[in-house]
Chain A
Amino acid sequence: MPTLSPDEWLAISPYLDQALAMSDPERAAWLRSLGERNPTLVAQLTDLLEEHQVLSAEAFLEKGGFGLPNSAGLAGQTLGPYTLLSQIGQGGMGSVWLAERNDGRFERRVAVKFIHIALMGKGGEGRFKREGSILGRLSHPHIAELIDAGVSAAGQPYLVLEYIEGDSIDAYCDRQNLDVEARIRLFLEVLGAVAHAHANLIVHRDLKPSNVLVSKDGQAKLLDFGIAKLLEGEAEDGTATLLTVEGGRAMTPEYAAPEQVTGAPVTTATDVYALGVLLYVLLTGQHPAGKGRRSPAELVKAIVDTEPTRPSDIVTTERANREETTTNAARRTTTPDKLSRLLQGDLDTIIVKALKKDPRERYASVTALADDLQRYLRHEPIAARPDTLAYRAGKFVRRNRIAVVLASLAFLAALAGVTGTVVQARRARAQRDLAIRERDRGSRVTQFMIKMFKVSDPGESRGNSVTAREILDKASAEVDTELSKDPETQAQMMDVMGNVYFSLGLYPKSESMLTRSVDIRRQALGPSHPDTLAAASDLGRTLSMEQRDQDAEKLLRETVASEQRVLGPEHPDTLVSMSRLANTLLGQNRYPEAEQLHREVLEKRRRVLGPDNPDTVASMDNMAFVFMVEQRFPEAEKMQRDALAIAARVQGADDPYTLDSMNRLARILSLEKKFPEAERVQRDGLDIQMRVLGPDHPLTSRSMYNLLDILQSEKNYPEAEKVARQIKARQARVRGPEHPYTAFATYLLASTVAMQGRKSEALSLLKEAVDHGLDAKTHLAMANDDDLKSLHGDPRFKALIRRAKEQASRPAQN
């Protein structure tokens, strides 16, 4: 095919305009008359117009997944005994051509498959050859047959396959208006083909409607073993188990099994899953991941994480657009209601079992799936059992674990994207002065990061809090190496990570990130820059949570003073820092100062932010807390109830801040000696926290202490002991066996045991606490602790107190 020079193109261009504006008969007449005067021009034009026809038919550049026409000029060429006629398909691996034999030996049309030119010499050839060898092993009436294979004169490998003239299985079923039973029978042919492949140790891995054609005589034919996997041999070196796409071949996410997405080993169960999706689509007309356009990330989440809607539910009119469900049912010669009833029960159970997230829970083989479908058709009891509710609940934890792995992958990808942008930004800055916009961009980067991280912030994720550390730890390493040349962005990222560590309760890590962020910003932006101050304020909060009171107070006082000067006395950021300062004072038992500061912040927030703003509510919580520690219980209860009401209404019952508010109300109620009500509120809150934050989160732990306290006050010792043991186990796990908190938990357990009169056990627990880091304050108070009253007079207790006093008089270890 000759190419056109720019001049030639410009010369022919106006004629093309004319030709394209005409109808077919008009154009033919016009070309004829033009041809009499200028045959060369018309030859060229005809050539281009034919090309245009082909391009229109192919919808070149118009539909997704177009392939470049690297072989568009192949029509009419011969390959061995075959003449190529027209391109009939384009896939990730290459293109497929319709061809016929030219040696007159057979009157048979065939499909010739070429490897994609871009994949030549990149391992694609090997895979292509393997497809040939795989097909050569298979001979089944429902698998498209391999007829020949070869290499063209130009070195292009090709496969010659049985040509199936027909529709994809879903289109065929719809066009023929096949009912459910007929669809199942046709599907059983596909199962036969896949079972045959499995028997030959071949996993197809890409089962989907477009790879299952139904010929004109109604026979299902399985095609495209392009990414099929041989079960023997390959798994040993591990290279072929991951479905990454070194050859540019993307898997088809709509039919991918969870293990294909997560990179777990692919087995015959992978095909069982894809067949489950296919059956789902054939019977319901919808995809198990639900309706609507989805992004890849959403789809991945659905594949790995979301239990599919039951087939019988998805076909009802409530679930989807009425018109569509009615059409879907009509294509199955029924109504939505009847279709739903038909699917309910056995077919639901069969499909759900094929679609299990865990490959081990799917049908053990394609044959087992086929057997159940046969039983269904014969109206016999099927082998699969429906899920129970308890069973479904048990799945929850494991699924979330996978979700976290995915989130971390997504995060790392995002991080790569972010650093790319930063580099880009640097270049732009060299060209023009973009200083102000640069800063803007930076904060957008941070926004982006925050969004990424929110998956792991319990406030956002409602779960997964602890495993999310993996994401952060990886990110911390990245931020050191990747961004060392860009300190401002580095500081921003450290700030974000420091705050996420904080919200996960990992204070030392939070402190080290935030300290670096503050240092970098002081250097780069100066000590009074709002960003520097914001980071300092965050650091102050972390220090305060670590009970580093002096450091926290000093830092926060400086920060508040600077913010009042730089941002103004009512600026929301200034108020945040003031509130943090107040909390630090509170931690030092300086109640009047704390109360005054909190009250000031509350008033300003009500005015500046409005009464329903979460920060205003947080101020109310703080006030309630101050009232509580000042033992002004009626005021505390009222303030806390008001705060809780707003939080539950505005932020929702599962919000961590609402939960915190609930905890505090329980605490206040118990201080007012309203124990039964306190216990009820506390248990409600704890249930939600266990679910939302997980058992290891500090806030959950605080609630457990509160509950223990309430139960002890109620004299419900057995329950109290149960809770105390949980607290102790949790602290030992999270803080380590020598941590003062763990020792204190042991001490609390000891007192609970002592209250029940089990003296020896209580004493040995007390000894454990004293010997393993119990703090001096508690040591000294031990002799007078009423909770240990039952031990008074016991010589072992006296000995233990002496020992504790000795330890307390030693210089503090840290």
Chain B
Amino acid sequence: MRPDATIPWLIGAAAQGDAAAADALFSALYAELRQLAKRELARPGAPVSLSATTLLHEAYLDMAAREGPSFPDRARFMGYAARVMRGLIIDHARERHAQKRGGLFELTSLDTNAAENAVDHRELARIGEVLEELSQVEPALAEVVDLKFFCGFSFAEIAAMRDVSERTVQRNWEKARIYLHRKISVDSLL
């Protein structure tokens, strides 16, 4: 891999199946999003929590501005970034769990998205694993879950990104949900 690999270059290489590039892209985007979240939250008057959707939009604008016209289109970027966001959210839940064990109290958040409200970080982590598996079987389904469940995009937004109909997105969502549910239920049968 090139030492000066930029994010557009990494996205291109990852799209062509370069596994090392995909890994590098993941960690670069991860660092980027995390940093952006910190920055956003440090802004005077910022909310204490930040919606994943906002974060992704900002990340895109930020990076597109920095990388210039060679930056890939928003849809392609979001596809990758949403997966990274999933990792970020699961890690966050795990960290919060760790803090909780450290004795700090935990509050049910009022305004975070569905993923944040998951009862248990392990459940979230398990969803992540099954999604990883699903992305091997039917990548489009896994991506809808990343975009909707983890990042909070609406069907309409996802449809516009993917350039497909909203009904298709919804159908993919429903299928993905059945897949996830079935896999996870089987795991944890009494």
The answer to whether B110 and A295 have CB atoms under 8 Å apart is: yes
A208 to chain B, nearest CB (A): 11
Q: Does chain A have a CB within 8 A of B174?
A: yes
Interface-facing stretch out of A15-23, A197-205, A646-654, A714-722: A15-23
The answer to whether B184 and A68 have CB atoms under 8 Å apart is: yes
The answer to whether B175 and A424 have CB atoms under 8 Å apart is: no
Chain B residue at minimal CB-CB distance from A256: B107
The answer to whether B106 and A152 have CB atoms under 8 Å apart is: no
The answer to whether B190 and A156 have CB atoms under 8 Å apart is: yes
Q: Does chain A have a CB within 8 A of B17?
A: no
One of A21, A154, A296, A300 near B190 (C-beta < 8 A): A154
Number of A-B contacts (CB under 8 A): 185
Q: How many Å lie between the Cα of A90 and that of B34 in the bound state? A: 32
Q: Using a CB-CB cutoff of 8 Å, which residues 163-190 of chain B contact chain A? A: 167, 171, 174-175, 177-186, 188-190
The 6 A-B pairs at the shortest CB distance, nearest first, are namely: A64-B117, A295-B48, A70-B188, A296-B107, A293-B111, A448-B42
Q: How many Å lie between the Cα of A63 and that of B115 in the bound state? A: 9
B86 to chain A, nearest CB (A): 12
B60 to chain A, nearest CB (A): 17
A157 to chain B, nearest CB (A): 11
B133 to chain A, nearest CB (A): 8
The answer to whether A118 and B120 have CB atoms under 8 Å apart is: yes
The answer to whether B182 and A61 have CB atoms under 8 Å apart is: no
Q: Does chain A have a CB within 8 A of B65?
A: no
The answer to whether A68 and B179 have CB atoms under 8 Å apart is: no
Q: Which residues of A contact B44 (CB under 8 A)?
A: 451
Q: Which residues of A contact B123 (CB under 8 A)?
A: 67-68, 118
Q: Mark A83-122, 1 if CB is under 8 A from B, else 0.
A: 0000000101000000000000000000000001110000
Q: Which residues of A contact B38 (CB under 8 A)?
A: 421, 444-445, 448
User: Chain B interface secondary structure, helix, strand, loop or mixed?
Assistant: helix
One of A62, A73, A252 near B185 (C-beta < 8 A): A73
Q: Does chain B have a CB within 8 A of A236?
A: no
Q: Which residues of B contact A298 (CB under 8 A)?
A: 48
Q: Which residues of A contact B105 (CB under 8 A)?
A: 243-245, 251, 261, 263
Q: A6-B136, A21-B167 are in contact. Are A69 and B181 (CB under 8 A)?
A: yes
Q: How many Å lie between the Cα of A62 and that of B118 in the bound state? A: 11
The answer to whether B49 and A295 have CB atoms under 8 Å apart is: yes
Q: Does chain B have a CB within 8 A of A690?
A: no
B108 to chain A, nearest CB (A): 4
Q: Mark A407-430, 1 if CB is under 8 A from B, else 0.
A: 001001100110011001101100
Q: Does chain A have a CB within 8 A of B64?
A: no
Q: Which residues of B contact A434 (CB under 8 A)?
A: 31
Q: Using a CB-CB cutoff of 8 Å, which residues 688-747 of chain A contact chain B? A: none
Q: A17-B171, A55-B177, A444-B42 are in contact. Are A250 and B27 (CB under 8 A)?
A: no
Q: A3-B186, A13-B138, A295-B110 are in contact. Are A245 and B118 (CB under 8 A)?
A: no
The answer to whether A16 and B178 have CB atoms under 8 Å apart is: yes
A489 to chain B, nearest CB (A): 13
Q: Using a CB-CB cutoff of 8 Å, which residues 1-56 of chain B contact chain A? A: 3, 5, 24, 27-28, 31, 34-35, 38-39, 41-42, 44, 47-49
Q: A243-B105, A245-B100 are in contact. Are A52 and B185 (CB under 8 A)?
A: no
Q: Does chain B have a CB within 8 A of A447?
A: yes
Further pairs besides A9-B138, A424-B34, A444-B38: 11, Cβ < 8 Å? A16-B175, A20-B174, A52-B174, A60-B177, A68-B127, A90-B119, A92-B119, A253-B110, A299-B110, A421-B35, A431-B24
Q: How many Å lie between the Cα of A280 and that of B47 in the bound state? A: 27
The answer to whether B138 and A68 have CB atoms under 8 Å apart is: no
Q: Which residues of B contact A244 (CB under 8 A)?
A: 100, 103-106
Q: Does chain A have a CB within 8 A of B109?
A: yes
The answer to whether A118 and B182 have CB atoms under 8 Å apart is: no
Q: Which residues of B contact A251 (CB under 8 A)?
A: 105, 107-108
Q: Mark A445-457, 1 if CB is under 8 A from B, else 0.
A: 1011001000000
Interface size on A, residues (CB 8 A): 80
Q: Which residues of B contact A13 (CB under 8 A)?
A: 138, 175
One of A56, A63, A420 near B95 (C-beta < 8 A): A420
A-B CB contact pairs (8 Å), 12 listed: A1-B189, A3-B182, A55-B177, A61-B114, A68-B127, A116-B120, A252-B108, A253-B110, A296-B48, A416-B99, A417-B95, A451-B44
Chain A residue at minimal CB-CB distance from B176: A61
Q: Does chain B have a CB within 8 A of A149?
A: no
Q: Does chain A have a CB within 8 A of B126?
A: yes
Q: Does chain B have a CB within 8 A of A232?
A: no
Q: Which residues of A contact B108 (CB under 8 A)?
A: 65, 250-253, 296
Q: Which residues of B contact A433 (CB under 8 A)?
A: 3
Q: Does chain B have a CB within 8 A of A71?
A: yes
Q: A68-B123, A295-B47, A425-B31 are in contact. Are A1 and B190 (CB under 8 A)?
A: no
One of B28, B35, B111, B178 near A294 (C-beta < 8 A): B111
The answer to whether B119 and A444 have CB atoms under 8 Å apart is: no
Q: A250-B106, A295-B110 are in contact. Are A71 and B171 (CB under 8 A)?
A: no
Q: Using a CB-CB cutoff of 8 Å, which residues 152-168 of chain B contact chain A? A: 167
Chain B residue at minimal CB-CB distance from A431: B27
Q: Does chain B have a CB within 8 A of A441?
A: yes
Q: A56-B174, A261-B105, A299-B107 are in contact. Are A68 and B114 (CB under 8 A)?
A: no
Q: Which residues of A contact B120 (CB under 8 A)?
A: 68, 116, 118, 248
The answer to whether A409 and B182 have CB atoms under 8 Å apart is: no
Q: Which residues of A contact B35 (CB under 8 A)?
A: 421, 441, 444
The answer to whether A295 and B145 have CB atoms under 8 Å apart is: no
B142 to chain A, nearest CB (A): 12
Q: How many Å lie between the Cα of A231 and that of B3 in the bound state? A: 64
Q: How many Å lie between the Cα of A48 and that of B176 in the bound state? A: 11
B145 to chain A, nearest CB (A): 7
Q: How many Å lie between the Cα of A445 and that of B117 in the bound state? A: 27
The answer to whether B107 and A250 have CB atoms under 8 Å apart is: yes
Q: How many Å lie between the Cα of A245 and that of B117 in the bound state? A: 15
Q: How many Å lie between the Cα of A246 and that of B106 in the bound state? A: 10
B14 to chain A, nearest CB (A): 15
Q: How many Å lie between the Cα of A417 and that of B106 in the bound state? A: 15
Q: Using a CB-CB cutoff of 8 Å, which residues 437-473 of chain A contact chain B? A: 441, 444-445, 447-448, 451
Q: How many Å lie between the Cα of A433 and that of B2 in the bound state? A: 12
The answer to whether A61 and B190 have CB atoms under 8 Å apart is: no
Q: How many Å lie between the Cα of A55 and that of B38 in the bound state? A: 35
Q: Which residues of A contact B186 (CB under 8 A)?
A: 1, 3
The answer to whether B24 and A66 have CB atoms under 8 Å apart is: no
The answer to whether B114 and A428 have CB atoms under 8 Å apart is: no
A655 to chain B, nearest CB (A): 15
| Residue among B3, B35, B113 facing the most chain A CB atoms (10 A cut-off) | B35
Q: Which residues of A contact B42 (CB under 8 A)?
A: 444, 447-448, 451
Q: How many Å lie between the Cα of A433 and that of B5 in the bound state? A: 10
Q: Which residues of B contact A441 (CB under 8 A)?
A: 35
The answer to whether B100 and A66 have CB atoms under 8 Å apart is: no
Q: Which residues of A contact B181 (CB under 8 A)?
A: 51, 55, 60, 69, 72
Q: Which residues of A contact B57 (CB under 8 A)?
A: none
Q: A21-B171, A156-B190 are in contact. Are A48 and B178 (CB under 8 A)?
A: yes
Q: Does chain A have a CB within 8 A of B74?
A: no
The answer to whether A1 and B185 have CB atoms under 8 Å apart is: yes
Q: Does chain B have a CB within 8 A of A74?
A: yes
Q: How many Å lie between the Cα of A175 and that of B184 in the bound state? A: 37
Q: Which residues of B contact A71 (CB under 8 A)?
A: 190
